[in-house]
A and B are shown apart, each in its own frame.
Chain A
Amino acid sequence: MSGLLFSTHLGDQMTLMALKSAAAGAVALAFGGAPLGVLMIARRLSLMGDALSHGILPGVAIAFIFAGRDPVALTVGALTAGLIVAGLSSLLARTGKLPDDAAFAIFYLSALALGVLLLGKMGKADEMEALLFGSTQALDASGLVLAGAAASATLIGLALFLRGVLGEGADPVFMRTLGARFGLSHLLLMLLLALNLVAGFRAFGALMTVALMTIPAAAARFWAKGYGGQAAWAVALSAVSGLIGLFLAALWGAEPGALMTVCAALLFGVSALVGTNGGLLQTRLAKTHLRGLKA
Chain B
Amino acid sequence: MTRIRVESLSVGYDRHPAVVSLSGVFEPASLTAVVGPNGSGKSTLLKALAGHCKPLAGRIDLGGLKPSEIAYLPQAHGLDLKFPLTLEDLVSFGFIGQRGLFGGFAKVDRERLHGLMAQVGLEGLERRPIGSVSGGQLQRALFARVMAQDAKLVLLDEPFNGIDARAAEDLAQLMARWPEQGRTVIAVLHDLDLVRRLCPGSLVMARQAVAWGPTDQAISPEQLTRARKLAESWNVSDEPPADVVQHTEHV
Contacts and interface: CB of A to CB of B under 8 A. Distances in A.
B250 interface: no
Nearest to B83: A170
Contacts of B79: 170-171
Interface string B40-76: 0000000000111000000000000011101010100
Interface residues of B, number: 35
Interface stretch (A59-67, A102-110, A221-229): A221-229
A146 B84 CA distance: 30
A177 B73 CA distance: 10
Contacts of B102: 160-161
B89 A166 contact: yes
B50 A170 contact: no
A173 interface: yes
A163 B80 contact: no
B71 to A, nearest CB: 8
Nearest to B89: A166
A226 B85 contact: yes
A178 B84 CA distance: 22
A25 to B, nearest CB: 27
Contacts of B95: 163
B77 interface: yes
B72 A170 contact: no
Interface in A163-203: 163-164, 166-167, 169-175, 177-179, 181-182, 184-185
B162 interface: no
B101 A164 contact: yes
B103 interface: yes
Nearest to A224: B84
Contact of A178 (B68, B83, B127): B68
A174 B89 contact: no
Interface of A: 38, 42-43, 159-161, 163-164, 166-167, 169-175, 177-179, 181-182, 184-185, 221, 224-227, 230
Given A173-B78, A177-B67, A178-B67, 13 more contacts: A42-B84, A170-B130, A171-B90, A173-B77, A174-B93, A177-B51, A177-B72, A179-B97, A221-B84, A225-B84, A225-B129, A226-B127, A227-B89
Q: Which 6 A-B pairs have the closest CB atoms?
A: A173-B78, A170-B83, A164-B101, A167-B93, A225-B129, A227-B84
Interface of B: 50-52, 66-68, 70, 72, 74, 77-80, 82-86, 89-90, 92-93, 95-97, 99, 101-104, 127, 129-130, 132, 145
